[in-house]
């Protein structure tokens, strides 16, 4: 007859080995406010993994200080020290792979990536863009929306492909533009929406819920719509505790 008490004690004393946290490398070029949102999420154990390195193509990027202050490896890799985009991207690939990331996150990385880079990390590259993609791809989105008299704006997180700002959308947060809204006010609200949705998308990926397959992105095995998961203006404003009427 087996000794059930002995078996029970053995099982109670057993501690499963913890799996290593999934690893993230963040690419920046400047201030790094979206990087800070990711660092903050990690500090509250809400990121689903660990930022192991921050890499900037500019040595004076403030985001590098944010990384160092958080105890994260901060690397400056000046693009102007390379003869071509392909040469820089080749060096960048080597630095990234040294950190063995599960995910590479672009957070204000102001470089157009070469096809060799994008294909190397296909399905593991996320970017945040200040518009409701596919509207207003490229730069100066806020000025262009205001110039067009647009009533709706927003932010999008998407997988990176060879098409600039054209990869499949994962999640968006909308912003209603009201008469009299200044560009500065819109920028502030768009930044807040970026900081809200980017950590969510990163966590989905690191937890294995978000994947990019041959037919597009899926969340929990279900295909995402073209606009991804979208937070309405009202939902985003509630999450951000914006004052009614903002």
C-alpha torsion angle, residues 160, 213, 22, 161 (rounded to 10):
-10
Catalytic pick from 62, 99, 129, 158? 129
- The neighbour count for residue 120, using CB atoms within 10 Å, is 18
Of 92, 130, 98, 131, which Cα lies nearest the Cα of 112? Answer: 92
Quick one: tokens of 113?
A: 């990536």
Quick one: tokens of 98?
A: 């040294």
Q: Cα 151 vs. chain centroid, distance in angstroms?
A: 26
Whether 129 is catalytic is yes
Q: Are 72 and 50 in contact (CB under 8 A)?
A: no
d(CA 103, CA 221) in angstroms, rounded, equals 19
d(CA 43, CA 203) in angstroms, rounded, equals 13
Exposure class string for 130-169: b at 16+ Cβ within 10 A, else e:
bbbbeebeeeebbeebeeeebeebbbbbbbbbeeebebbb
Contacts of 86 (CB under 8 A, 6+ apart): 114, 116
The catalytic residue positions are 129
């Amino acid at each position: 007859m087996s000794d059930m008490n002995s078996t029970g004690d053995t099982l109670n004393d057993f501690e499963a080995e913890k799996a290593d946290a999934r690893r993230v490398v963040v690419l920046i070029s400047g201030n790094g406010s979206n990087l800070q949102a990711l660092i903050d999420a990690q500090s509250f154990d809400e990121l689903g993994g660990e930022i192991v390195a921050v890499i900037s193509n500019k040595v004076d990027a403030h985001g590098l200080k944010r990384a160092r202050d958080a105890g994260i490896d901060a690397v400056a890799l000046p693009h102007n020290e390379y003869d071509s985009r392909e040469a820089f991207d080749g060096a960048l690939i080597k630095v990234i792979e040294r950190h063995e990331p599960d995910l590479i996150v672009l957070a204000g990385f102001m470089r157009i990536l070469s096809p060799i880079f994008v294909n190397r990390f296909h399905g593991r590259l996320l970017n945040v863009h200040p518009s409701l993609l596919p509207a207003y791809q490229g730069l100066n989105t806020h000025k262009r929306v205001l110039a067009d008299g647009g009533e709706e704006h927003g932010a999008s997180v998407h997988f990176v492909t060879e098409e600039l700002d054209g990869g499949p959308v994962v999640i968006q947060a909308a912003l209603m533009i009201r008469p009299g809204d200044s560009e500065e006010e819109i920028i502030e609200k768009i930044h807040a929406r970026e900081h809200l949705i980017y950590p969510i998308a990163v966590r989905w990926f690191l937890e294995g819920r978000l994947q990019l397959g041959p037919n597009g992105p899926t969340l929990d095995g279900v295909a995402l719509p073209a606009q991804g998961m979208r937070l309405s203006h009202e939902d985003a404003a509630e999450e951000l505790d914006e004052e009614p009427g903002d």
